[in-house]
Amino acid sequence: MKIKAGIIGATGYAGAELVRILLMHPQAEIAAISSVSFEGKALSEVYPSYKNLCDMECKTQDEVVAKSDVIFAALPHGLSQELAAQCDKAGKAFIDLGADFRLKSEEEYQEWYGGTFLDKELHEKSVYGLPELFRSNIQGKKIIANPGCYTTGAPLALAPAIVGKLVSTEGIIIDSKSGVTGAGRKPSQGSHYPELNEGFHAYKAANHRHTPEIEQTLSTLSGEKVTITFVPHLLPVNRGILSTCYARIREGVTFGQIRTAYETFYENEYFVRLLPDGAYADIHNIKYSNFCDISLHHDSRTNTLIAISAIDNMVKGAAGQAIQNMNIIFGLSETTGLELVPPAF
Amino acid sequence: MKIKAGIIGATGYAGAELVRILLMHPQAEIAAISSVSFEGKALSEVYPSYKNLCDMECKTQDEVVAKSDVIFAALPHGLSQELAAQCDKAGKAFIDLGADFRLKSEEEYQEWYGGTFLDKELHEKSVYGLPELFRSNIQGKKIIANPGCYTTGAPLALAPAIVGKLVSTEGIIIDSKSGVTGAGRKPSQGSHYPELNEGFHAYKAANHRHTPEIEQTLSTLSGEKVTITFVPHLLPVNRGILSTCYARIREGVTFGQIRTAYETFYENEYFVRLLPDGAYADIHNIKYSNFCDISLHHDSRTNTLIAISAIDNMVKGAAGQAIQNMNIIFGLSETTGLELVPPAF
Amino acid sequence: MKIKAGIIGATGYAGAELVRILLMHPQAEIAAISSVSFEGKALSEVYPSYKNLCDMECKTQDEVVAKSDVIFAALPHGLSQELAAQCDKAGKAFIDLGADFRLKSEEEYQEWYGGTFLDKELHEKSVYGLPELFRSNIQGKKIIANPGCYTTGAPLALAPAIVGKLVSTEGIIIDSKSGVTGAGRKPSQGSHYPELNEGFHAYKAANHRHTPEIEQTLSTLSGEKVTITFVPHLLPVNRGILSTCYARIREGVTFGQIRTAYETFYENEYFVRLLPDGAYADIHNIKYSNFCDISLHHDSRTNTLIAISAIDNMVKGAAGQAIQNMNIIFGLSETTGLELVPPAF
Amino acid sequence: MKIKAGIIGATGYAGAELVRILLMHPQAEIAAISSVSFEGKALSEVYPSYKNLCDMECKTQDEVVAKSDVIFAALPHGLSQELAAQCDKAGKAFIDLGADFRLKSEEEYQEWYGGTFLDKELHEKSVYGLPELFRSNIQGKKIIANPGCYTTGAPLALAPAIVGKLVSTEGIIIDSKSGVTGAGRKPSQGSHYPELNEGFHAYKAANHRHTPEIEQTLSTLSGEKVTITFVPHLLPVNRGILSTCYARIREGVTFGQIRTAYETFYENEYFVRLLPDGAYADIHNIKYSNFCDISLHHDSRTNTLIAISAIDNMVKGAAGQAIQNMNIIFGLSETTGLELVPPAF
């Protein structure tokens, strides 16, 4: 019997991407979908790509919860906590693509999102779903905080060096570049084609909400409080995040040791592809797939590690990882339905 | 047991796309690949997208033929005839993505391609593989001429009107716009990023080799010789062909009759999606899939049918259709491995 | 003394392009600008490109009229008639980039735009400002209907053949492809970057408001009522319109005669560049300039003329042509301030 | 009388851009052009954009030197030294867009470019032409080393902070993103449209030849040896370089002091636009112009200065700056012919 999956917020980009992947998943099926803006409308009216493939009508949240074994929520922050409680009570798995359960510290949540933890117990039951780093925590859980897009690629690029204490945890700089889908489906001046096309700029420099989430992950990995400088930029492409991460190599550590540490760390990770020396991670090569490509470079003149990761912000950075988490909590092989081949062009 | 598929010319774009789709095909596997330019190299070195997915080495043509049940050839025209003979002798199925077997008339082949038919018997054994129009001919055949990209989308847009004698076969105009992958993998000034980006132009106006192939299909469907005006253009996108087809509606025929004819004609065709009134076929909605979206529009002021089709030139216009043909000749369901969901963005 | 130019609707795309060109015009200066949406704001706040170049504040329409010798209006249709009257009364030149004065027939205006002619006398005083075709009418006029974007490129591509009676006026098909700026500055789902990028589709097939305007021009040139089939498409580029025009060549007329007719017709036109045989008009080559490139192609199999024009929809299709009209009515050389070099990339 | 300008290497991108700007320059005219690859061909055959504007034929280098007052050379490195000697002997001004005269240290030139200084005296006569930083050195010189593209934007972003000793000169990180024209006109797999479009990657990380040139400038400004980490990336756009520069703020220095220092430093610089707080430098806003937009951001959590600059790599990063240098050495106002308005879209 297939897992019955429900999607709340199905007409946003992350929701629509969940639909795309679930439609090809051999052991799950979409039971119901909801959308506040398009209630009563067929999904294929909103996204004509899905004509004949998902003509399902958008229902209410309650209907989705009732019909599903697992509920994916792709909602603006602040709206997931009550929903999580509802799912918890009903004994359903809940995978939150929003931010409500990502930060462990309520203080940080307040500072960056301006809200409070409505139910602390619920937060304690939840787990941060970045499988390559925290897999064992995820098994057996039913409330999953799916990481944000920037917060997947950058930590994966740095994790082996941090865990192995090969780089300084001070002065880490993460310069990220994201495709436009990261900004969501709502039209705005900044994503209006003629004003974004042939343009490129940073935004929310040192001020983006994914900052504390990246720091939380790196701090957990290193065992000490890590503070980073994080600057995101907007790329004129649909999909993909490239994160160029800079960290000072600790004295006595060689670049060869770093490479070996990465090889060992990711040896058995299907979704992480460590590129050979001389190759560069490129968002071109992971589009539409759940892969995270990582390339390592050494600035020998300043003894700096340059670790670059490329992910599809909508797949490994959202819907794909959410389904990876679903696979884990339902006891499936982690790659089920996620062996998506990134097109060569 | 899975079908063993071989790809000759695997490092070209059509070849690489065959790899992508075959990797996800549940009843076929890639047995061997070849490439003249990259012999001895792993495919994933040429296309880093395929790292860990297809690290297979490029072999010789003979090795591919020896190891495969079906041989796909994605070669420049003129190189397939001998290969077809070799496969025929070895009792292997041969699906040609090149032009050598597409034209039934040797005279036309000479005029447009400058070559001759090396072995007429072989040509008689071959069949033109556009399943939605000529499915029954394909079953039982082993040499398949897979249609060109323009020659799939435009005929599908016009077929029901032609078959039903609803439009004049004179004065048909096909204005097509293709993504850049149609020009192949070899770098050239015309496909150099800064010179193509933000540009748009026609090429080979009334002079493109797909002209006689489209005419052959329309003539077969109508039972009379059809001559068309065909102008292709180059779009600054990677994939997709949109064909805007203009045909004069015959006196006494209503637009409603035309729509009904299309609905009936394509009723059971999974890969053709006839859009509702008011919608427009868009290459955005069929990318990476084997779908052909068709929209119909009526110029009531001049009583002209405007039929627009959108296909992915690399899928329905090349590799996807080739695999559709493979499914037919191996007795599989036609959609096997081809239920590719076009991404919403 | 420089001409004092005022722009009403300066924050729309056509208005902003007027600013760009006027800033480099040696004999005109921007006296005042207005914008309903951004009144009181500096233009450079709306378009940071113009920082330090045009930090002028958006004023009211009345202020613009008061301060200017010539008023350019880039407004939605229906709003220009009263403004024209106001300028007329004040003895100021008025160049309307909107549609209100373009159609000579009130009946057609009603049919396509749903409005009426508020003051017929004013309409009689106005002239259709397509200089290459109607130059002598423009001199001495003070109310100029500046043509729409599609309605400049397509008529220029066909004019010499129509005037010379070299092609049939029946069955003309115009297949146009426009950059996104043609849709204006207001964000919408259809121009949201991720949904337009890598896409391509037609819109308003046989139903676009520029249809009667093109017909009006062609009818004037031919002396008989011309009805066309016109289908516009949306290109994923910022600027440029390519119009592929199909017309049946009259019996007895050779393609050589047609080419000669074009050469003669455009001999002294600085802004029309007739390309040599074998070359193709490309929007890449006219971007940011007031040029209209035209290439001619012959389908000898169906004896069809394929005339292709490329213009920048924002320059020759809007602001540049408006300034060309200004130059004419103020007695300047037509090319003053318009010798804009299209960048090579 | 106008300055007679000659361009050697006119068919490369920098050469073609020199043509574009010089065609609009009121006090200079193109006397002759040369190109090894296209000798005897008209420039407008190579770049159809320039039809009727620059149909000049490509001649030999000697002819260019003979006919010109100033010679611009846009050549691969290693080819300029002899040419400089030839111009010097002939008493002509020489502006080198290549790398041969940029590095003052022959040792560094050998290390990064693999060549030697053929004539040391000539190198001593030459000057590094970054006017905003070294204007007074340029006046009176006749051999100008025009800076590279990355080496203009990044130093301008950092200069006031370095000169004012407001940031540490250790640990400076420059993460740059360049449009594709930076890679030149020669087609290659990496700039083939389908493989670059929708992609993004770094290249030559910590290994790019502009590294020592940036260090030379920063070292000169600071009075001490500065070593940087520099990682360039390739953006899927035609033009523009955005450099995101990270520097640790010295203890006791406030961000307000830094802003004031920038304001003072660039107060009278026409081509540098310091953006207000909250705005972000964007390549969209400086395309086709000689502007360098700079925005300043403060990471108060790590006390890091984030200085971002945007230039058009072909204008301020090549041809525009070269003409700015020409204006200086010929005693013209620096902005002559360079008041190019960046289009709003």
Indicate the domain borders of chain D.
3-147+316-329, 150-312
Task: Report the distance separating Cα B48 and Cα B42, nearest Å.
Answer: 10
Catalytic residue among A54, A58, A87, A149: A149
Tell me the average pLDDT across D273-288: 98
Task: Report the distance separating Cα B176 and Cα B231, nearest Å.
Answer: 6
- Decide if A180 touches C, using CB distance below 8 A: yes
DSSP state letter for C318: I
Give how far C98 is from chain A: nearest CA, Å. 21
Sequence-ordered list of residues with C-beta below 8 angstroms from that of A72, at least 6 positions apart, any chain: A5, A6, A7, A8, A15, A18, A95, A97, A319, A322, A326
- Decide if B168 touches C, using CB distance below 8 A: no
Hey, are the CB atoms on C198 and A13 less than 8 Å from each other? no
Find residues 87-146 of chain C whose CB sits inside 8 Å of chain A.
none
Mean pLDDT for all residues in chain D: 97
Long-range contacts of A57-63 (CB under 8 A, 24+ apart): A58/A10, A58/A11, A58/A33, A58/A34, A59/A32, A59/A33, A59/A34, A60/A34, A61/A8, A61/A34, A63/A32, A63/A34
User: What was the pLDDT predicted at D161?
Assistant: 98
Closest by CA position to C43, among listed C35, C33, C31, C55: C55
- Decide if C278 touches A, using CB distance below 8 A: no
User: What was the pLDDT predicted at A257?
Assistant: 98
Hey, are the CB atoms on D339 and C24 less than 8 Å from each other? yes
Pick the CATH number of D150-312 from 3.30.1360.120, 3.40.190.290, 3.30.830.10, 3.30.360.10: 3.30.360.10
Burial of A125 (0-12, 13-18, 19+ CB in 10 A): middle
User: What was the pLDDT predicted at C283?
Assistant: 98
Closest by CA position to A284, among listed A15, B189, D308, A275: A275
Sequence-ordered list of residues with C-beta below 8 angstroms from that of C137, at least 6 positions apart, any chain: C127, C128
Contact residues, chain B, for D181 at CB < 8 Å: 194
Hey, are the CB atoms on C49 and D20 less than 8 Å from each other? no
The minimal CB distance from B189 to the residues D13, D187, D238 is found for D187
Residue C247 pLDDT level (bands cut at 50, 70, 90): very high
Hey, are the CB atoms on A306 and D199 less than 8 Å from each other? no
User: What was the pLDDT predicted at A177?
Assistant: 98
The 10s digit of each residue's pLDDT in B257-278 is: 999 999 999 999 999 999 999 9
Residue B87 pLDDT level (bands cut at 50, 70, 90): very high
Contact residues, chain A, for D248 at CB < 8 Å: 171
Task: Report the distance separating Cα D133 and Cα B184, nearest Å.
Answer: 47
Closest by CA position to B280, among listed C74, D338, C88, C234: C234
Give how far C115 is from chain A: nearest CA, Å. 30
- B194 to chain C: closest CA residue: C345
What is the torsion angle, in degrees rounded to the nearest 10, for the CA atoms of residue C318, residue C322, residue C324 and residue C329? 160
Low-confidence ranges of chain A (pLDDT < 70): none
Residue C21 pLDDT level (bands cut at 50, 70, 90): very high
Beta bridge partners of C36: none
- Decide if C201 touches A, using CB distance below 8 A: no
User: What was the pLDDT predicted at D146?
Assistant: 98
Sequence-ordered list of residues with C-beta below 8 angstroms from that of D203, at least 6 positions apart, any chain: A280, D232, D233, D234
- Decide if B13 touches A, using CB distance below 8 A: yes
User: What was the pLDDT predicted at A139?
Assistant: 94
The 10s digit of each residue's pLDDT in D193-219 is: 999 999 999 999 999 999 999 999 999
At what angle are helices C210-222 and C106-113 packed, to 10 degrees? 150
Which SS3 state, helix, strand or coil, does residue B283 take? helix
- The answer to whether C16 touches C72, Cβ cutoff 8 Å, is no
CB contacts < 8 A (B, C):
166
Pick the CATH number of D3-147+316-329 from 1.10.8.350, 3.40.50.720, 3.30.420.80, 2.40.50.140: 3.40.50.720
Tokens of C298: 């012959």
User: What was the pLDDT predicted at B257?
Assistant: 98
Give how far C300 is from chain B: nearest CA, Å. 8
Beta bridge partners of B248: B304
User: What was the pLDDT predicted at C277?
Assistant: 97
Contact residues, chain B, for A53 at CB < 8 Å: 341
- Decide if D198 touches B, using CB distance below 8 A: yes
Contact residues, chain C, for B282 at CB < 8 Å: 199-201
Catalytic residue among D54, D87, D149, D245: D149
> What's the complex ipTM?
0.97
Scanning chain D, the segments in alpha helix (DSSP H) are: 13-23, 43-46, 61-67, 80-90, 106-113, 120-125, 131-138, 150-163, 193-196, 210-222, 255-265, 320-329
Query: Pairing state of beta strands B70-73 and C93-96?
Result: unpaired
Burial B245-264 (b: 16+ CB within 10 A, else e): bbbbbbeebebeebbebbee
Which SS3 state, helix, strand or coil, does residue A211 take? helix
User: What was the pLDDT predicted at B170?
Assistant: 97
The secondary structure element, H or E, covering residue C308 is strand C304-311
- The answer to whether C45 touches C21, Cβ cutoff 8 Å, is no
Residue C290 pLDDT level (bands cut at 50, 70, 90): very high
The minimal CB distance from D238 to the residues B13, B198, B238 is found for B198
Residue B24 pLDDT level (bands cut at 50, 70, 90): very high
Task: Report the distance separating Cα B1 and Cα B5, nearest Å.
Answer: 12
User: What was the pLDDT predicted at B275?
Assistant: 98
The secondary structure element, H or E, covering residue A174 is strand A173-178
The 10s digit of each residue's pLDDT in C138-186 is: 999 999 999 999 999 999 999 999 999 999 999 999 999 999 999 999 9
- D235 to chain B: closest CA residue: B193
Residue C302 pLDDT level (bands cut at 50, 70, 90): very high
The residue of C38, C49, C270, C338 whose CB has the most chain D CBs within 10 angstroms, and thus the best one to mutate to test that interface, is C49
Residue given tokens 């200065």 in the structure block? D305
Tell me the average pLDDT across B326-340: 98
Task: Report the distance separating Cα D148 and Cα D139, nearest Å.
Answer: 20
Contact residues, chain C, for B203 at CB < 8 Å: 280
Query: Pairing state of beta strands A143-145 and A201-202?
Result: unpaired
Residue C203 pLDDT level (bands cut at 50, 70, 90): very high
The 10s digit of each residue's pLDDT in D101-111 is: 999 999 999 99
**What is Dmax (Cα atoms) for chain D?**
63
Which SS3 state, helix, strand or coil, does residue D298 take? strand
Tell me the average pLDDT across B301-322: 98
Instruction: Please name the chains neighbouring D, where neighbouring means 3+ C-beta pairs under 8 angstroms.
Output: A, B, C
Least confident of B74-83, B232-241, C29-38, D1-10: B74-83
The CA radius of gyration of chain D, in Å to the nearest whole number, is 20
User: What was the pLDDT predicted at C217?
Assistant: 98
